[in-house]
Amino acid sequence: MLTIDVVIPTYDGWPLLERCLELLRAQTIAHRVVVVDNGSTDGTPTNVRREFPEAVVVELPENIGFPAACNRGVAAGDGDVIVLLNNDVEVPATFLEALVQPLVAREPLGSVAAVLLQRDGQSIDSVGLCVDKTLAGFPRLRGEPRAESGSVRPVLAGPAGGAGAYRRVAWTAVGGLDEGVFGYGEDVDLAVRLAGAGWETTVATAATAIHLGSASFGRRSSWQRYQAGFSRGYFVRRYGLSTGTVLTEAIVVVGDAVISRDFSAVRGRLAGWRAARGAARRPRPPAWAIDRSIGLPASLRMRRTVYASSA
């Protein structure tokens, strides 16, 4: 049996977290829960200790961002498997057992993606992540019917950070999530680094859950679009700039400015680009991790789908 640590970062979301922890109590497989409180002001740490004393609480004095909070939670455990779980994901009783099963069977496997459904339980929110030639990442199969969750296209790069399992030795080997960003894109970066280190990935189609969606991070606010832009600029510089990337990003930021009537996306990208100055250049991921069939038109369509679902 593999031991399991479920790491849940949270910030001022006690009702969501309470429901999430109640559902985890009903799981069919043993696990440890690590709640990382990112400086909440709603009494979350006290509530967790009172209502769920079996959970480990990592209490941070301020909001240090999603990647850093996850890394702190991972460091607080020692399970063979790390499951990252958003507090706005509702899991059935068999979820964890189904999610970690592929890791039991395949040693070279470094990560497993879950099937996240939208609120209606019929439309896909994500089945892991796919990555285009510019290393922009997207929720795989978003908007497709639930029956398509086993599709092999687009190519799977790795799990989405909202619900995914990682073998601890793989996570440790690549250094976990990049704390250079506050949020967004860190799961894509981790996926391609794991691929570059030789770790395989797969989907556990039986590990299905409901993602309430943007319930904990807000919906397309100026701050949110700035942070998403910051992450994009940061990772573009870390992996290197191409002509295709410049063209794609120019179209995206112009479109965002027209729709949102501000320049948060472009300001974020510029700030992220500057923040990555001096950081070591990362190697390009292996060919299998990139879906080269996602050209510019398809990439823009995917971006519009993500934008619309977060509006």
Model confidence pLDDT, tens digit, residues 222-240: 999 999 999 999 999 999 9
Average pLDDT on 117-145 reads 96
| Beta bridge partners of residue 21, listed in sequence order | none
Sequence-distant (6+) residues with CB within 8 A of 256 are: 225, 264, 265, 266, 307
Name which of 5, 2, 1, 21 is nearest 13 in CA terms.
Answer: 21
Cβ atoms 249, 127 nearer than 8 A:
no
Euclidean distance between CA atoms 277 and 266, whole angstroms: 17
Dump the DSSP string for 60-102.
ESS---HHHHHHHHHHT---SEEEEE-TTEE--TTHHHHHHHH
pLDDT at 114: 98
Copy the structure tokens of residue 197. 């280190």
The residues of the chain that CATH labels 3.90.550.10 are 4-211
- Confidence check: pLDDT of 215 > 60: no
| Beta bridge partners of residue 208, listed in sequence order | 115
Residue type, 163: A
Q: Which region among 3-12, 50-59, 238-247 has the lowest average model confidence (pLDDT)?
A: 238-247
Euclidean distance between CA atoms 289 and 264, whole angstroms: 30
Q: Is the peptide bond before 108 cis (omega within 30 degrees of 0)?
A: no
Kindly report the pTM of this predicted structure: 0.94
Evaluated on CA atoms 67, 68, 73, 78, the torsion sign reads positive
Residue 78 CA, distance from chain mean position: 21
Cβ atoms 299, 164 nearer than 8 A:
no
Instruction: Classify domain 4-211 at the CATH class level.
Output: alpha beta
DSSP assignment letter at 158: B
Average pLDDT on 187-214 reads 95
Average pLDDT on 99-111 reads 91
Euclidean distance between CA atoms 275 and 269, whole angstroms: 10
- Confidence check: pLDDT of 143 > 80: yes
Model confidence pLDDT, tens digit, residues 269-306: 999 999 999 999 999 999 999 999 998 888 888 877 77
**Segments of the chain assigned E as strands:** 4-10, 32-38, 56-60, 81-85, 89-90, 109-117, 124-127, 129-131, 137-139, 163-167, 200-211
pLDDT at 221: 85
User: Over 236-305, what HEC string results?
Assistant: HHHHCCCHHHHHHHHHHHHHHHHHHCCCHHHHHHHHHHHHCCCCCCCCCCCHHHCCCCCCHHHHHHHHHH
pLDDT at 298: 87
Cβ atoms 210, 116 nearer than 8 A:
yes
Sequence-distant (6+) residues with CB within 8 A of 258 are: none
Phi and psi of 65, rounded to 5°?
100, 165
Average pLDDT on 135-159 reads 96
Sequence-distant (6+) residues with CB within 8 A of 287 are: none
